[in-house]
Amino acid sequence: MAKQKVTKLDVNVLYVEDEEDIRTAVMEALQRRVKVLYTAENGQEGLDMFKDNDIDIVITDIKMPIMNGLEMSEKIREIRNDVPIIVTTAYEESDFFHKSIEIGINGYVVKPVNMKKLHELLIDTARKIELEKRVKEQVQCIESLINLRDDIVIMIESKYMNVVNKAFLDFFGFKNLEEFNDKYENIVDFIEDKKEYIYKPKDNGNNWIEFLLSHGKKEGIKSITGLIDDDSDSEFLVTFEKLPNSNKYIVIMRKIDEKQ
């Protein structure tokens, strides 16, 4: 009976191991299971290979010459903090356990390497990577769509803004959302305390959407607020919609003078 063909995982894996017999055995097994496999004999070689290639997952031994696996992992984290790292370890290396927690190692396989266990870890990690890629693509799609609007558009969760469009950045004068967040707590910092507009929430915007929902409607518009724009008041109609199965809201702010 012919052997069933194993579907390769769509990931690029870096495997670092100094012992040749172990490296060869694991390498042969990994080559049948992953799209691209890179191998290195020590931490320094592994680090250099990581810098030169697009690596999705790192598998590394701990005790190696020149640079050990944890030192390499720490330096990799400085380059890319989100890359999954799986460590192959022996029982006598338990003194490295606390250090590995600090670095944020994602998984462990005890030596001698159990390929079934390693393969299960790779499958689980590859699924998470694929999910993260899909979420990132969806966010990029949303950003592209909302950038087509002249209105200010914000995706917000409680006080935190996850996504904003170009109109938001242009209005407030920032290059990106990170730059805005470095300077301000949230958009409530710009709301004027005037009786004809909505007052600032007492919790300084910790629940901005809930605050808006608790106030009355005006002619079908959820809320009206005032913002400061170059020392002059800019009035906005604010509408918002809760996204299904989430705590996120899409907020649209349209200048009243532009609507009229």
Query: Can you give the residue ranges of every domain in the chain?
Result: 9-138, 147-259
Residues in a beta bridge with 250: 155, 241
Q: Supply the DSSP string of 138-190, one letter for each residue.
A: HHHHHHHHHTT-SSEEEEEETTEEEEE-HHHHHHHT-SSHHHHHHH-S-GGGG
What does the alpha-carbon distance between residue 4 and residue 7 come to, in Å, rounded to a whole number? 9
The reported pTM is 0.64
For residues 75 and 106, is the Cβ–Cβ distance under 8 A? no
Q: For residue 176, which phi and psi values (nearest 5 degrees)?
A: -155, 170
Percent of the chain with pLDDT strictly greater than 70:
74
What does the alpha-carbon distance between residue 243 and residue 249 come to, in Å, rounded to a whole number? 6
Cis omega (within 30 of 0) for bond into 244: no
CA distances from 96 to 19, 63, 185 (A): 19, 10, 39
The pLDDT tens digits of the residues spanning 116-167 come to: 999 999 999 999 999 988 888 887 887 888 888 889 898 887 667 888 899 9
Any idea which architecture 9-138 has in CATH?
3-Layer(aba) Sandwich (3.40)
In this predicted structure, what is the pLDDT of residue 27? 94
Q: What is the CATH number of domain 147-259?
A: 3.30.450.20
